Amino acid sequence: MIFDAIKIFFSHRKQTIKSIPNSVLPEKYRGVPEITSDGLSSEQLKELQQLCPTSAIEVKPFSLDMGKCLFCGECEKCFPNNIHFTNQWKIWAFERKQLIVHANEKWHAPEPANPVTLLNKTIRMRQLCAGGDMGCELELGASSNVNFDMERFGMSFTASPRHAEAMVLTGPITKNMSFAAESTFSAIADPKLLILSGTDAISGGMFVDSPDIDRSFLDRHKPDLYIAGSPAHPLNIISSIASLTGRTL
């Protein structure tokens, strides 16, 4: 019995990703887009704008909002000369407007924040799902599995908000969860941080006009970190949270 268990340990080997920042995702992965309006007539621009299911594309000036983007790649397939999703997976921001990609500019994730002194490089988080579609939740769970292993960087999820310094919110915030979101956040001791993960949480995504959504929670509390993606990749989750604690990963 014990020998079988040891055999499994050896046959499975160590599978943890050694270097998070140097990880390269496959070519088809849709990360930070590069956009240009060159060669597009005003009608084509309008068509491109209307094609986007979440209205992430603005025409004047030509820009793409990664907080609204579903990274579905529909626009890239219809206008391959103007929009290209690179496999750059580092997509986060400390301010909402930093998530906007402008035409003919290369977008970079912001430099690490000034370390929040109370954190001392470790952070414990309480996750709250408020209408999230399980995509983001599975990826947050995957961040602490043996492959990504976020706990080696001093980050972990905790069950009680009393033990947490931050709340990670996923989902567009349904009406039925707006009360729970408020009370969970208020149960975390001050000073505390609010992290939004995924397009649904950042902008409401495709549900922004649904009558069953109530996003007033975000009018009362300002997020400290936006992790973009639909859903956000575990590499992105780990790097962005490290960035919030003043580190580069």
Partner 1 sequence: MYRDNFYIVPDGVRAIPFENIPELTFKDFASCAVEALDDDTKDNVPLAYFQSEGKFFIVLFDYSTGNFLLTSSKSPKKVINSLGVDAYYQFERDIYERSKVSINNHPYLKPLRRPCSNNSVFDFETSTNVSLHEVNVGPVHAGIIEPGQFRFTCNGEQVLSVEICLGFQRRGIEQLIVDSSSNRKRMLLAEQISGDSVVANTIAMSNILEGQLDANQYQLIFHERALALEMERLAMHFADLAALAGDCAYYLGQIAIEPLRTTIINSLQLWCGSRSGRSLVRPSGSFYRLSLDEIDVVTNNINNVKKLFSDISSNLLSSPSLLSRLDGKCQLSQHSVKAFALRGTISKASNQPRDIRISSYSQVPYKNFTVQKLSKGDLLSRLKIRIMEVNQSIDIVLEFLNTIKSIWYETSKFPVYDSSLPKSSLILSPVEGFRGTILHVALSDQNSTLADYRIFDPSMMAWPVLAYAMKNQQISDFPVCNKSFNLSYLANDL
Q: Which class for 240: exposed (0-12), middle (13-18), buried (19 or more C-beta within 10 A)?
A: buried
Element (H or E) spanning 50, and its range? helix 42-51
What is the spatial distance between Cα 60 and Cα 102, in angstroms, rounded to a whole number? 10
Structural contact between residues 33 and 241, judged by C-beta atoms closer than 8 angstroms: no
Considering beta carbons, is residue 51 or 118 the nearer one to partner 1?
51
Identity of the residue, 5 or 190, whose beta carbon is nearer to partner 1 in the bound complex? 5
**164 touches 127 (CB < 8 A):** no
The letter for the amino acid at 60 is K
Closer Cβ to partner 1, 40 or 72, answer by number: 72
Spatial CA neighbour of 30 closest among 63, 62, 81, 77: 77
Query: Could you tell me the smallest distance in angstroms from the CB atom of residue 229 to partner 1?
Result: 10
Contact positions toward partner 1, by CB under 8 A?
1, 4-5, 7-9, 11-12, 15, 25-26, 28-30, 51, 53, 70-74, 77, 85, 127-142, 145-147, 157, 159-160, 171-172, 174-180, 184, 200, 205-207, 209-214, 230-231, 233
Nearest to 115 by CA among 127, 125, 123, 106: 123
Smallest separation (angstroms) from partner 1 to the CB of 114: 28
- Residue nearer to partner 1 on the CB measure, 22 or 159: 159
Shortest CB 95 distance to partner 1, Å: 26
Shortest distance, CB of residue 110 to partner 1, whole angstroms?
Answer: 25
Q: How far is the CB of 115 from partner 1 (least distance, A)?
A: 26
